Structure 1
Amino acid sequence: MSLRPVLETRRAQPHIEGAGVHLHRAFGFGDPSEQDPFLLFDDFRGDHEELYKEGFPWHPHRGIETITYVLAGEVEHGDSLGNRGVLGAGSVQWMTAGSGILHQEMPRGNAQGQMHGFQLWANLPSSLKMTTPRYQDIGGDDIPVVIDDDGTAARVIMGEFWGKKGPVDGIAADPQYLDISVPPGARKTIKVDTYRQTFAYVFAGAGLFSDASAPEGVLLEKEYMGQEVNIRDLSGNRTLVRFGTGDEITVQAGPEGVRFLLVSGAPLKEPVAWHGPIVMNTQEELMQAMRDLRNGTFIKPAH
């Protein structure tokens, strides 16, 4: 067994997207090889509707898949294929844009005005860039939850984990997408596929992700949960943790526990031509997508 090293921890940065949605972006529009096959990850949340109510009006996508996971509030969606629906708390939507789709996503708060969700973009391989678009909407009750003896709980959104299989299937990157909660003071080792790109995103509580070069944490002046760790070294709310290669990660939960998304997928290792919501392999393909948008041929007939 080999512990994955922590390559980097960084805070998601404030950003405004859509028609004025305040969010935090963990990565995106940088080096596409950094998280290959994943391109972008946004954390959108707010306690007041003015932070999100204008939503993400009609816009195009081609060449990618988008994964929307809602924790609080709702997201009403619609697309150019006639699909309509509402994502409630705990639900997930996986949209394969493929050859092209126009859609909108409009967040709504719960009774307390709170809204919280995540969106992840996954790249499509060149062989599937122009595949037929499709949606998968999965209700929160259909996402399995598995709980270990120490109280660690995992919602299995995609892939297999601890004997449970997530309900989302047929995705090109064949990813694993988990929502993991580790109770206060617990130390947990989690198996991951050696050859997959893997990242964690902490969104509640805090924890220390062990590094292969310092598996017991950073030894500093303050004793914490049985080891000497400076509490400032804990990865807290809105922190992205990037890992190197290996087949397991270890996290030490802080005094309030830690909750994080753990996402992994097989790298495509293909060239990327990217402009806004359209991701292709070559500049010519990208220019063709722009021409299709201008001349009204962006939406292709089903095949």
Structure 2
Amino acid sequence: MKVIQQLRAMPTRDGDGVNIMRIADFQRLALDPYLMLDEIRSDDAKDYIGGFPPHPHRGMETFTYIRKGGFEHRDQLGNVRAIRAGKVQWMSTGRGVIHSEMPLADADNGLHGFQIWLNMPAKDKMRHPQYQDSGTSDHPTLSDGHGQLYLLAGHWQFGNEAADAPLMGLAADAAIADMTLPAGKQSQIELSQYKLVALYLYQGQLLLPSGSHINAGSMLLLDPQYPLQLQAGTADCGMLLLAGNPIGEKVVQMGPFVMNTQAEIMQAINDYQSGQFGEIV
């Protein structure tokens, strides 16, 4: 396994005071097609109860994965969906979406989830928005006898098995999975069909072939031409695997808008302020 870069999640707040650990790169685009990963994790409702009241997006995709607790999604397209533990939601915002994401009142015992932003190629940024979630669909789990891969998006091969996740068709052929590896165990996965591979460790300690280690809250940008050789430390490991193919286009970002030029950003702001995004009914 060849590590290209190591990143560390930083604390911030978003929405109505929600505490988040965030990794973002809108300038160097080292994670292209991925732009940002937010982790929300707390057993204290004060850290997330304000949620994310109605707000707009244009030109990007949001991918939400809940491990504990839940959110209710609402948008101007008429979608009202509860996203609970083990489920995912994908929104390709295209030319414009207004949505809200609020904690579920009946989801006890805290919240743990992720929202990932993906860029969209210029040719798709003004298409009609799309929404999908895994709902009642099953999420396949693949295993090599040690590690387990819980499929969230895209096509995966692991051990002697292969399967499709319930969500397909993300921008840039993106594939996302949740991998767990018991303490002291080793596992290997091949992802050379992609040009971008990253790993975000949210639990445990991962030992690297160099003899060093990383702790939870770290992301590794990896060379996809080398197999991922994963070894857990003295505690069980949990990690998100992110794969895809870079879009390779300039990004101009302002808040919830991700376009290719400053002029397109200003147009997005004008369109939103003039009511062209619609509203949540």
Pair 1:16-2:34 in alignment: no
Q: How does 1:1-303 map to 2 (within 5 A)?
A: 3=1, 5-28=2-25, 30-108=26-104, 112-139=108-135, 142-149=138-145, 151-162=146-157, 163-210=162-209, 217-218=210-211, 233-299=212-278
Q: Which amino acid aligns with 1:24?
A: M
Structure-2 separation of matches of 1:76 and 1:22: 18
Q: What TM-score do you get using the length of structure 1 for normalisation?
A: 0.86
Q: Distance in 2 between matches of 1:243 and 1:177?
A: 15
**Per-residue deviation at 1:140?**
7.0
Give the aligned residue type for 1:184: A
Q: Alpha-carbon deviation of 1:31?
A: 2.1
The Cα shift of 1:107 comes to 2.1
Letter in 1 for 2:11: P
**8 Å Cα contact 1:92-1:140 kept in structure 2:** no
For 2:73, the aligned partner's letter is H
Q: Distance in 1 between matches of 2:193 and 2:229?
A: 14
Sequence identity (%): 37
Which structure 1 segments of 5+ residues have no match?
211-216, 219-232
Q: Which moved more, 1:32-41 or 1:92-101?
A: 32-41
CA offsets 1:141-185 (integer angstroms, 9 cap, x no match): 611111222x31101112222311111112222111111111221
Task: Output the amino acid matched with 1:23.
Answer: I
| Moved segments of 4+, more than 6 Å | none
Relative to structure 1, the CA distance from residue 91 to residue 36 in structure 2 (aligned partners, 3 Å threshold; closer, same or farther) is: same
> What secondary structure sits across from 1:235 in the alignment?
strand
Partners in 2 of 1:245 and 1:79 — Cα distance?
A: 36
* TM-score, normalised by the number of residues in structure 2: 0.92
Q: CA RMSD in A?
A: 1.8
Aligned-partner Cα distance in 2 for 1:111–1:275 = 32
CA distance in 2, matches of 1:45, 1:245: 29
Is the partner of 1:296 in helix, strand or coil? coil
Q: In the TM superposition, what whole-angstrom CA distance separates every residue of 1:247-288 from its partner, at most 9, and x where no partner exists?
A: 421111111121100001110001111111101111111111
Cα displacement (A) at 1:40: 0.7
State the AA in 1 paired with 2:176.
Y
Paired AA for residue 271 in structure 2: D
CA gap 1:114/1:52 in 2 versus in 1, 3 angstroms: same
Contact 1:37 1:122 in 2 (8 A): yes
Q: Supply the distance in 1 between the matched residues of 2:96 and 2:10 (Cα, whole angstroms).
A: 29
Count of matched residue pairs: 275
Look up the SS of the partner of 1:255 in the other structure: coil
Structure 1 residue 61: deviation in Å? 0.3
- Counterpart residue number, 1:229: none
Using a 3 Å threshold, how does the CA distance of structure 1 residues 121 and 184 change in structure 2: closer, same or farther?
A: same
Deviation at 1:48, TM superposition (A): 0.9
The residue type paired with residue 148 of structure 2 is A
The structure having more radius of gyration, on CA atoms, is 1
Aligned counterparts of 2:142 and 2:17: Cα–Cα separation in 1 = 37
